[in-house]
Structures are given as C-alpha cells and as structure tokens.
Amino acid sequence: MPAVIVLGAQWGDEGKGKATDQLGQNTDYVVKFNGGNNAGHTVVIDGEKYALHLLPAGILSEGVTPIIGNGVVVDIEVMFQEIDEMASRGVDCSRLKVSSNAHIIPSYNRLMDQANERARGKNQIGTTGRGIGPTYADKMNRIGIRIQDLFDPEGLAEKVEAALAPKNEIFAAVGMETLNPEVVTEELLAYADRIRPMMCDVSLEVNEALDRGDTVLFEGGQATMLDIDHGTYPFVTSSNPTAGGALTGAGVGPTRIDRVIGVAKAYTTRVGEGPFPTELDDEVGEALRIKGGEFGVTTGRARRTGWFDAVVVRYATRINGLTDICLTKLDVLSGYPLIPVCVAYEIDGVRAEEMPLDQAGFAKAVPVYEELPGWDEDISGCRTFEELPANAQAYIARLEELSKCRIQSIGVGPGREATIVRYPLI
C-alpha cells in the first residue's frame, strides 16, 4: 500500500503519534501535512517516551524520510529546539526535509493569538496561543511569510513590515507591546543558513517516491471534528486535518491514495471549548481522565472525557472515506462492568442517527446510549484479537458495526509493541 493517510477521527489526542510510528516503521516517507506545534504526538519506544510537536513521527524510525509539508505552519525556533532535544537523545534528525512553501509562524502572530483571545472575552475559542490561527489567516490574506522568504532578505523585510503594521495597532489598542519589524526580520533571518539544507519541493519529492513504488504515510495533526470546514465550528483548528487536507498539504492527487486510516480512542476526549455530547463532567469522567492519562502533550491541559461517540466516528468515516480505524486505549476500559456507547442523539425530542446539520442542534444533542458488557481482565499483554476477553471482542465488533468501518488495529498499552494488528496494511 504505497500511499496511506493517517488522521484523527474524533477531537484529537487519539494516539495518532503511536499509530503513525507503528505504521511508519514499514514506510519510506512520513509526511506531516497540516497544523503546527499546537498538536502533540506521544510515542513510547522501549519504555522511553518521546513528545513530538512539529516533527513527523517518522523521525523516530531509521531509514524513514520525515517531511514537513506545505500545509504545515512552522515555528522555526520551536522546530530547532525539538530537533536539538531529539538529537541529544540520539535521534538522527539529518533526514528531515521541509517544504519551501510552508508558512512560518513569526513572533508577532503568537502575540496576535493572545490579543484575539483577550478581545473575545467570554467567547474564547480555547486556542493554544502558539500563533497557529493568525498565521493561517495571514496565509489566506496573502501576507504570510514562507520558508523560501528567508533567502530574500530585502523581500522578507518588506513583507514583515507590511504584515506587522496593522498588528502593532491592535497590540497598542489592547495594551500589549508593539514589535520592531527590523528586529523580527533579523530573528527570522538568523535561521536561514540552518534550514537551507532541509528545504525541498515536497510535492515533487513525494510524487517521485510514489512513482518508484515507495511507501508514503501522510500524518495529520488535530482531527476531523476540529476541521475548519467539517468540524464543530467555530471551536476548530485553522487547517484541514481531514483526508482532503493531506492532498493539498503535501501536493498529491486523490488518485494516488490507497488507504485512509482514522485513529479513534475506545472512548472520547476533547480539549478546549465547544460542544461534546458524551462528556462526563463528574467523578466518572475524572476517574477516566486519570486512568487514561488525559493531559495535553503540548499544553498540559486536562482533557474533557466521555464515552465513545459512534455518531462522531461514523461521520469521520464518511467525511474522510475511511478504509480502516486504529482503535487506541482499549486497556483503559478494563474494569468497567458496563460500558455505554453513544449510538444516536436526541435533539429537541427527536432522535438523530447522523451529525446534525447545524451547530445549534449539535450543542443541544443528548446522547442515546447502548450499554455493552465490560471486562475485568488486564489486556495490556494481549497481542492477538483472540487473546482479548469475549466481551472486549464483542465491544470491538459493535464499534465496527456502528462506525461502518473495520477496526484494523487495537492499542492495549502505550508502548510501540502494545498493539493488536488484525489486518496488516503495509
């Protein structure tokens, strides 16, 4: 299977890093196609934990070429900090390649994130404050700074000055410090020599790899329900973490894709604001949060927790054309006598089997639960489907039926090896 997309099927934090790392061991390229350092992927190898933010998960697999695509927004300072941290732990980062068309997160956009949230008051989005949204906004407004601009000092200075002038007015209006465009330009130019060897035409490189028969894995940050077009707008990210985003974020055509894999937890979590029908805002949710270690890799924020929402995952299957689901953290559900699963919603007294058309309807959605029998056994040592308790097998089978997609693999622990692979893909 030479071209495989891996993306989140819920609201993020599903374990995409582990899934990508597992699949990436058998691939030639791993291409990150969207987002920035607002997302975090955790990979555990031989008991050692690696937290990835900007770097693709393929950086941890020897022989794999990791690529940051044009759809990613890059905080260069953060990227090199992450590279230096990985290198200090013996990870070879010399293979990393970065699209010349990727947009840069300048320091003024981190301040814009703060200014925007301050202006929203009680209507805050819950942004991570890393300048992601303002940088994508600059991209759409055609005033963005790209990697290739670092090699044109005069042009870069003009672009920074033009982009920063209206932002400085906003900073001054809300009582924040203004920035000197010359200082910002010099900050960016300081990285030019170091990033030059990494720069490449990602679309050309990836398409030539596919022509050779190489295997390419496209890695998405964030998740389907945070997609700017198809997520729970306005409580979404600023990019397209869906399958279509992989095509535009890496420069490949739809006919080149063989499989689309959605990663979903055996329950559901969400970070930040926005509707969450199955949320457990009680001691049950808190216990699930503690047991599952549900705290953000990037921000450390506690994640909201809830039961598995089959309506959401069925929607993700449709939006992305999922061929497979990687289910993670099944082990966290051990010990529950009954496990509720949301099979539909009730909105103003009417049952809805699919995602509501409007945000107002989704905000009022009350989950309709079906309770499935749980299991007490520790499943962390299981490596085949048949080794799972009968009730765990039945839980998987029911999730497949409700999600309308086969569950290709099952995570039973945090380690790279703690995965049951039912259907080999690569």
Structure token digits, residue 75: 């905080």
Q: Which amino acid is at 352?
A: A
Phi, psi of 365 (to 5 degrees): -65, 130
Q: How far apart are CA 399 and CA 344, in angstroms?
A: 13
Query: Binding site for IMP, residues?
Result: 13-16, 38-41, 128, 142, 222, 237, 301
What length does the chain have? 426
219 closest CA partner among 426, 16, 74: 16
The DSSP code for 284 is H
Sign of the C-alpha dihedral, residues 6, 11, 12, 15? negative
3-class SS at 364? Answer: coil
Instruction: Please list, residue by residue across 323-352, b when 16 or more beta carbons sit within 10 angstroms of its beta carbon and e when fewer do.
Output: bbbbbbbbbbbbebeebbbbbbbebeeeeb
3-class SS at 213? Answer: coil
Which residues, 6+ apart, have CB-to-CB distance to 158 below 8 Å?
none
Cis peptide before 373 (omega within 30 of 0): no
DSSP 14-43: SSHHHHHHHHHTT-SEEEE-SB-TT--EEE
Active site residues: 13, 41, 139
Nearest-Å Rg of the Cα atoms of the chain is 22
DSSP 75-98: -HHHHHHHHHHHHHTT---TT-EE
Query: Binding site for GTP, residues?
Result: 12-18, 40-42, 303, 329-331, 411-413
Which residues, 6+ apart, have CB-to-CB distance to 346 below 8 Å?
352, 365, 366, 367, 368
Which residues, 6+ apart, have CB-to-CB distance to 345 below 8 Å?
277, 311, 351, 352, 356, 365, 366, 367, 368
Q: How far apart are CA 404 and CA 8, in angstroms?
A: 16
Structure token digits, residue 149: 């601009």
Query: Binding site, residues?
Result: 12-18, 38-42, 128, 142, 222, 237, 297-303, 329-331, 411-413
Pairing between strand 199-200 and 97-99?
Answer: parallel
